[in-house]
Amino acid sequence: MVAPTTSLADRRAHANDQASSLSPADFAASADKVDCERGAIDQQFPSRSSQPVTGCSTLLRFVVLLGLVFLVQHFWPFPSLLQWESESVAGLDDLCPQVEALTPPQHEALLRSLDQEFGSTEFKLKAYESLGGAVRIPTESYDDLGLPSEDPRWEIEAKFHEYLESRFPKVHANLKRTKVNTYALVYKWKGTANVKPLLLAAHMDVVPVNPSTYDDWTNPPYSGYYDGEWIWGRGSCDDKPGVIGILTAIETLLERGFVPSRTVLLAFGVDEEVTGHEGAGAINKYLLEAYGTDSIAMLVDEGGGYDDLGGTVFATPAVAEKGYMDIRMDVLTPGGHSSRPPKHTGIGILAGLITELEAHPHEPELARGRTYYQGLECRAKYDTSFPASMRKLVQQSQTSDAKLRELQDVLIDFDPMFYAMSGTTQAIDLIGGGVKVNALPEAVWAVANYRIADYSSPAELMDRLIDIILPVAAKHNMTLEAFGKTMGLEGPSWGTIRLSDAYNTSLAPAPVTPTTGSGPYELLSGTIRSTLETHLRKDSLPMTAIVSPGLLNGNTDTLYYWNLTKHIFRYSHLGAADAFNGEHTINEAIRAEGFLEQIRFLTRLILNADQSDLLE
């Protein structure tokens, strides 16, 4: 727990209390003491005073001092404001509870020895090269990939398998590896105890690099080059550090002769960047057959990381994911020669549809108890850079609906991510139609991508779109076919507007992982804190760490694992400053020291989970 420091308001209030509690006699004695001290000083430095100092002025001083105390207490505007800073922390005491940093007592000596090894130049260079070599194999996923048994573009994954075998020989000698649906991988590190396994997940595929951007990269996109600080290339952040970090941690433990009590399962997807159906989807079926429903003690996949906010590191493992849906809008109209056009062509009508949708964005909603709101509570309590006024609003919003709405209004300007995190987002990403410049378009289309708020649903989204688009269809004398139902005009119409689930990828928001009071969350939090508070980094990252539940806008392979466990965490243990230019973009690169900390985190997680009573 973070103890609040004594503020200026506290000190001023204390002084005022002391002053107001003094009796006139006390004041007189105090003033006479000051007179004597001033007299002694003036004898040493005669020029300091031209008038004799006597006790005769005691009463006057007493009156003046009482007046000053009254003014400070009743008219000075600052004490009440500053006093709020300490009072507000006290008012947030019950929010965002933290667990102590967790180090397994049975393996404490092993951890100390491993940290010495992790800090060695030899280990670092070997680990960095392991990631660099993985980056050099371009395991790109494409939206139009066929089945693994049919599409030759999958074959690069076999080369990646061979690389893993050569780089991690002890893993492949001691763990059982199963190829699922040809290219996805499941590893089993069998434990000695009959308890639920720990599941660590990652994905081996990467998004493609646009060949026209190759010259824009500081280093070639598949170089895997380590320049002394950064490891460059596509997949260096997303998500080959997950794969290589997990295998490096286990390889190192095997070298030390470690035998786990708790079975550790590894699930490496092969198409996470294109829905994950052939990889994680197939892995889920395999694990269900082998272990059954609710058979996993805890699952950790890629996701949140940590950041330095005002001298305190905030780690945000994602315990929830937004829903997902791609909506296709087709506008079907009669064709004809463009020399005899109607008032609006199909393209014009489609443009009007898009304009109408963008004119009615989904309004965000700040809801108590949801993951984003819980993150605000943590910041209000622990983030010293969080404005006092915001801290006050967070506290007041606990019980006041009016203050909750006021906080929401403030967040619109305060947090640039507020809209994305607290509401359903909409992005018109694809559009097409028309075949010739002198022929009226008979079929035009667009696709809108929606990330559905964690308090909403695909059904609610579809109903809302119908309400917006139905008047547009009526305006143009058109029928609306929405998600398999015909509505609107009953008689003849000039054309049709059709809404559909573009790729049958409709996904409800993920079940929220239990946090406060939950053993797996406490184990993860304690592991994060112990890793951060003992980091080996050379930079000035603070050692004080706070863990706050987070929400992912996107979806990971975990969307296929909901029936395996309710304890799903999306957390990569990567610092915000450790990604050079983000993911899925030019100059993707990871700070080498950040990758080293991922390995340390995964090692501590395995050891903490091994004999902990926090897991089933």
Residues assigned a catalytic role: 205, 272
How far apart CA 218 and CA 400 sit, in angstroms, is: 52
530, two tokens = 């112990």
Cross-strand pairs, 550:
318
Closest CA to 434 of 328, 348, 343, 503: 348
268, two tokens = 């490496």
Tell me how crowded residue 162 is: count the other CB atoms within 10 A of its CB.
Answer: 11
3-state secondary structure of 420: helix
Closest CA to 175 of 191, 192, 188, 165: 188
Amino acid (one-letter) located at 512: V
List C-alpha distances in Å: 131 to 233, 283, 397: 10, 24, 46
State phi, psi for 606 to the nearest 5 degrees. Answer: -60, -45
Cross-strand pairs, 145:
none
Tell me how crowded residue 307 is: count the other CB atoms within 10 A of its CB.
Answer: 13
Burial class (CB in 10 A: 0-12, 13-18, 19+), 554: exposed
Q: Is 273 annotated as a binding residue?
A: yes
Q: Is 539 annotated as a binding residue?
A: no
Q: Is 302 annotated as a binding residue?
A: no
In terms of DSSP bridges, do strands 478-482 and 495-501 run parallel, antiparallel, or are they unpaired?
parallel
Angle at 210 between CA 208 and CA 215, to 5 degrees: 125
Cross-strand pairs, 326:
449
How far apart CA 353 and CA 578 sit, in angstroms, is: 41
How far apart CA 136 and CA 101 sit, in angstroms, is: 37
Q: Is 74 annotated as a binding residue?
A: no
How far apart CA 431 and CA 267 sit, in angstroms, is: 36
Contact predicate 570/304, CB 8 Å: yes
Cross-strand pairs, 486:
481
Q: 364: which DSSP letter?
A: P
Listed as own residue / partner, the contacts of 153-160 with beta carbons closer than 8 Å and 24 or more positions apart are 154/182, 154/183, 154/270, 157/183, 157/204, 157/205, 157/270, 158/183, 160/134, 160/204
Q: Is 490 annotated as a binding residue?
A: no
Contact predicate 78/67, CB 8 Å: no
Q: Indicate the angle between helix axes 388-396 and 401-414, nearest 10 degrees.
A: 150
Burial class (CB in 10 A: 0-12, 13-18, 19+), 235: buried
3-state secondary structure of 169: helix
Specify binding-site residues for Zn(2+): 203, 238, 273, 301, 584
